[in-house]
Amino acid sequence: MIESRLISLLRRSKSVTQKFSSSNPREWKTFTTPCGFSNEHQSRFYSSLPRFIPAARTPVAGSCVGYGLRSLLQSNCKNFYKPPFRNFSTAASVSAKDTGGLKLLVTAGPHAQKAVGIWLFVSAAWVFSMVVLGGVTRLTRSGLSMTDWKFTGGLPPLSDEEWLVEFEKYKQSPEYKRVNKGMSLDDFKFIYWMEYAHRMWGRALGIMFALPFSYFLRKGYITVQLGLRLCGLFALGAGQGLIGWWMVKSGLEEPASEYAEPRVSPYRLAAHLTSAFVIYSGLFWTALSVVMPEPPAESVAWVQGAAKVKRLALPVSFLVGITAVSGAFVAGNDAGRAFNTFPKMGDTWIPEDVFNLKPLVRNFFENTSMVQLDHRILATATLFSIGGLWWSSRKLDIHPAIRSLIGSTMGMAALQVTLGISTLLSYVPVSLGTAHQAGALTLLTLMILLNHTLRRPSLQLLKTLPSVVKTA
């Protein structure tokens, strides 16, 4: 009985082998290849990407993710394979071998990749909104309205007695005594609600990040590499609340001079904003890596052109980041409300007091004149650098998506400089000041997207590319 079953199984196995060997070799190659999508599907996927980008709606084109044989079995052969319920997926090593060295951050199939990607893009968009809300809070002078802090937060005042208690606490602060003396309770409620919303929006982000993260860990969607990266970003997010209170606390202290206006330390404000930019950049880059493990590449010539652009894009990206950080020192020193003229600073090109402070290095971070001069120089250098990048890429043989992205970045840089000048000449209104801060993060978003698109493709993809793109 057993022998007859074995003979029957062997005959079936032989017939299946003959069937595959007699089939079209191209079809068999298509079945076993780790990349499951054609170039047409890749282009459609890249063209639909702007829906997920939180800051910029820039047209992008390129290639989709390729999955290894194990991922194919996970998504299409569930009856034969069940993934283990572990904290981190261990399929990364298998996929790396099957994809010619391409290490996928999500290896549980297209559905898992899409779910994790959307979650990370939403998280990045949430951080973007946090930066914008923080700018509104600062420009409306609401940041010092809450004089205490709890890590988990709490309910706002709900009765008239509770509001009076909070108002009395604020009356003891230097800002009330020197700036807002005589403020009404209704005016205090406005600035209190602004600061309270900013804090609770950040805590809500922590919950929104942690719950899906736990779910995806349970499902085994997240690899060890991705899990460690996300844990680091979550830790930075938790520390961001502490940095924020550390910043606010500096504004609750008595100023050194009786004529000085109470405000937070420019160093702490710069640390708070820079930390937010780092978290946003990490989330956005990771989200792009999840949904686009391969850059857009359809020929070797385009890959070589992208490599040339990348050598220019990296230093330009660094300059964009430095300019954004210098803007934090402009905000921390209220330098935007001084020298509200352009292109000159008052009646001169360079104010006489730019090196008044000792030691000399303090002028670059605490001297209002020098801080604004630095920001003007850096912003101008950024605009010309991006313009040079655009000009240099005009004659290069590069992917149309990269060319379009460089043009969008050039346009955004020009808009950002225009917003900065308008904000300065208008004496920093809340609307323009907020738009200028959002513009800085939008420009940074485009530079991140550009650098991600300029990555070198995997070895396996390079082997399949033609020398040049075939034109019809």
pLDDT value, residue 153: 77
CB of 51 closer than 8 Å to CB of 118: no
* 84/197: higher pLDDT: 197
DSSP 341-366: -SSSBTTBSS-TTTT-SSSGGGHHHH
Q: Is the peptide bond before 262 cis (omega within 30 degrees of 0)?
A: no
What residues are paired with 223 via a beta bridge? 89
CB of 265 closer than 8 Å to CB of 253: no
pLDDT value, residue 180: 86
Q: pLDDT tens across 124-157, in order?
A: 999 999 999 999 999 999 988 988 888 777 888 9
Residue with tokens 């007695």: 161
**pLDDT greater than 70 at residue 220:** yes
Q: pLDDT tens across 111-123, in order?
A: 989 999 999 999 9
CB of 165 closer than 8 Å to CB of 144: no
Which of the four pLDDT bands, split at 50, 70 and 90, describes residue 29?
very low
**pLDDT greater than 80 at residue 82:** no
Residue 213: half-sphere exposure toward Cβ, Cα within 13 Å: 20
Q: Is the pTM of this model over 0.75?
A: yes
Which of the four pLDDT bands, split at 50, 70 and 90, describes residue 11?
low
DSSP code, position 223: B
Q: Please report, for residues 158, 188, 196, 265, the alpha-carbon distance to residue 191 in angstroms, rounded to integers and kept in the order given.
A: 16, 5, 9, 20
Mean pLDDT over 94-119 rounds to 73
Mean pLDDT over 387-406 rounds to 92
CB of 307 closer than 8 Å to CB of 297: no
Domain ranges in the chain?
Answer: 104-276, 294-471
Token pair in block for residue 138? 């600062």
Amino acid present at 163 = W
**CATH number belonging to domain 294-471:** 1.20.1420
pLDDT value, residue 4: 56
Distance of CA 444 to the CA centre of its chain: 8
pLDDT value, residue 232: 94
CB of 216 closer than 8 Å to CB of 119: yes
Cα 263–269–274 angle (5° rounding)? 170
Q: Give the length of the chain.
A: 472
Q: Among candidates 363, 360, 381, which has minimal Cα distance to 372?
A: 363
pLDDT value, residue 463: 80
pLDDT value, residue 302: 85
CB of 59 closer than 8 Å to CB of 291: no
Looking at every residue in the chain, the average pLDDT score rounds to 80
pLDDT value, residue 8: 56
